[in-house]
């Protein structure tokens, strides 16, 4: 049986970030991945690097992750196509302005300066092509985006260069606690280590079930669209205060459109079917804010499976019931930006027993506590 210090279930960005940080601290790490790294959420997402409008509990992690992305080359040896062009959350009326001003005031009261209200004049300096009805925006100047698959490949390559073994096509089917540590049984072989991390994304609840732990995770499939290439016209990433939108022009001229519209997902066979009426709604939102794009062609659409938690916050936690088991899942469609810091936190939890970042809000017990409180 193959031995390691840590076995990671799932070779997406979370698994690869954990693998890299543990290897940097001298750990022998095995990653088991049932499909291939980046096949699911980590390779197909919108690549948004967004501190803007984060849940307050996530802000310290997001701020720490932002500093890592700004110098990502020194961590992974590649730039992951990071572009820190700013993100805007656009207001279209006075109700939107009130909402964004309240948000800005909340952040100021918490001592953060990275989200700033900007005037209509400043908004049109940053995005001159916006439809003329917008009234202002909330702005995070050092947000931006990266290329998800490039980032995933960079994390994985650096981890492998430091000795991490990826076992691709290996699905963890069962976990057993033995005196020598945890055994992870896959179809082809078994692996043993004192520590196992559950980075199984949309399948994380199944890994929890193998351990006798239940979590209130739901799986959904956010959709994306990409257009033909057009001449550069937009620098910052655009979101909206009261519409579902994530919109950016990539370095190659294509327009990437997201905003958490969901495809149909069938849990029985894990198949997905695009919801074209919602994609049309998404396209209409873009045209409302950028009418000149009406004739641009969409060339491709897709969706990816993601794990959502009831409170939209991830689980980043040691298992309370199974010593040696750690969880990092449930990123609820905003985990890409956090990924570099998640590896750091998990390495700290495993090797130091604690992380200096505040992670109490992400403990797995929060759901069982809620059940007890409301019982
Ligand atoms: C369409 C879309 C757009 C998004 N846009 C953004 C964005 O702009 N910004 C942002 O911050 N976040 C975004 N996200 C969220 C982000 O992509 C995810 O939060 C993040 O990638 C989760 O990474 P992960 O490693 O946990 O999951 P995954 O990448 O899904 O990796 C989990 C891996 O575990 C493997 N696995 C599962 N079970 C087993 C098992 N039993 N044995 C072996 N392997 C197993 C799976 O095959 C999978 O490869 C988006 C997500 C989607 C779907």
CA of 242 to the centre of ligand 1 (A): 26
* Percentage, residues of the chain above pLDDT 90: 96
Q: Of the candidates 200, 218, 220, 219, which has an alpha carbon nearest to the alpha carbon of residue 262?
A: 220
pLDDT at 54 over 80: yes
DSSP annotation string for 7-53: EEE--SHHHHHHHHHHHHTT--EEEEESS-TTSSHHHHS--EE--TT
* CB 34 less than 6 A from any atom of ligand 1: yes
DSSP letter at 337 equals T
- Location of structure tokens 């993100």: 87
pLDDT in tens, 214-223: 999 999 999 9
User: What whole-number distance in Å separates Cα of residue 79 and Cα of residue 212?
Assistant: 41
Q: Name the pTM for this structure.
A: 0.96
Residue nearest atom 21 in ligand 1 by C-alpha distance: 42
pLDDT band at 188 (very low <50, low <70, confident <90, very high): confident
User: What whole-number distance in Å separates Cα of residue 130 and Cα of residue 126?
Assistant: 9
Alpha helices in 226-317 (DSSP H): 276-289
Other beta carbons within 10 Å of 320: 12
The CA dihedral of 374, 364, 261, 10, to the nearest 10 degrees, is -150
68, 76, 98, 350 from 158: Cα distances, Å = 15, 6, 45, 20
CA of 223 to the centre of ligand 1 (A): 13
List Cβ neighbours of 104 (8 Å cut-off, separation of 6 or more): 115, 116, 117, 138
pLDDT of residue 283: 96
pLDDT of residue 369: 56
* CB 48 less than 6 A from any atom of ligand 1: yes
* Partners of 88 in beta bridges: 139, 238
pLDDT in tens, 280-297: 999 999 999 999 999 999
pLDDT at 96 over 50: yes
* CB 259 less than 6 A from any atom of ligand 1: no
pLDDT at 11 over 60: yes
List Cβ neighbours of 33 (8 Å cut-off, separation of 6 or more): 10, 11, 15, 166, 167, 168, 169, 170
Q: Which of the two residues, 187 and 368, has the higher pLDDT score?
A: 187
The mean pLDDT value of the chain amounts to: 96
pLDDT at 116 over 70: yes
CA of 40 to the centre of ligand 1 (A): 5
pLDDT of residue 375: 43
pLDDT at 371 over 70: no
* CB 138 less than 6 A from any atom of ligand 1: no
* CB 15 less than 6 A from any atom of ligand 1: yes
């Amino acid at each position: 049986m193959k031995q390691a210090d840590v076995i990671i279930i799932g070779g997406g960005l979370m698994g690869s970030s954990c693998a890299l940080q543990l290897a940097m601290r001298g750990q022998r790490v095995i990653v088991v991945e049932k499909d291939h790294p980046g096949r699911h959420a980590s390779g197909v997402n919108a690549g948004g690097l967004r501190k803007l409008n984060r849940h307050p509990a996530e802000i310290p992690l997001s701020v720490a992750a932002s500093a890592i992305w700004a110098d990502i080359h020194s961590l992974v040896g590649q730039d992951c196509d990071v572009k820190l062009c700013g993100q805007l959350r656009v207001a279209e009326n006075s109700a939107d302005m009130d909402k964004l001003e309240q948000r800005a005031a909340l952040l100021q009261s918490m001592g953060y300066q990275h989200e700033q209200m900007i005037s209509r004049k400043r908004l049109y300096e940053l995005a001159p092509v916006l439809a003329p009805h917008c009234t202002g925006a909330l702005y995070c100047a050092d947000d931006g985006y990266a290329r998800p698959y490039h980032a995933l490949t960079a994390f994985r390559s650096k981890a492998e260069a430091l000795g991490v073994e990826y076992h691709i096509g290996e699905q963890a089917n069962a976990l057993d606690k033995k005196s020598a540590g945890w055994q992870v049984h896959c179809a082809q072989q078994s692996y043993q280590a004192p520590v196992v991390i559950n980075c199984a994304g949309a399948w994380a609840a199944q890994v929890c079930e193998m351990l006798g732990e239940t979590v209130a995770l739901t799986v959904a499939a956010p959709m994306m669209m990409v257009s033909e290439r057009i001449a550069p016209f937009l620098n910052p990433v655009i979101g909206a205060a009261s519409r579902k939108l994530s919109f950016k022009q990539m370095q190659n001229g294509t327009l990437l459109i997201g905003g958490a519209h969901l495809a149909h997902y069938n849990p029985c066979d894990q198949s997905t079917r695009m919801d074209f009426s919602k994609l049309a709604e998404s396209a209409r939102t873009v045209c409302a804010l950028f009418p000149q794009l009406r004739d641009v062609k969409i060339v491709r659409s897709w969706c990816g499976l993601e794990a959502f938690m009831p409170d939209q916050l991830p689980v980043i936690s040691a298992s309370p019931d199974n010593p040696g088991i750690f969880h990092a899942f449930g990123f609820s469609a905003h985990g890409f930006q956090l990924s570099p810091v998640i590896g750091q936190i998990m390495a700290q939890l495993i090797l130091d027993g604690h992380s200096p970042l505040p992670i109490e809000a992400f403990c797995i017990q929060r759901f069982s506590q809620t059940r007890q409180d409301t019982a």
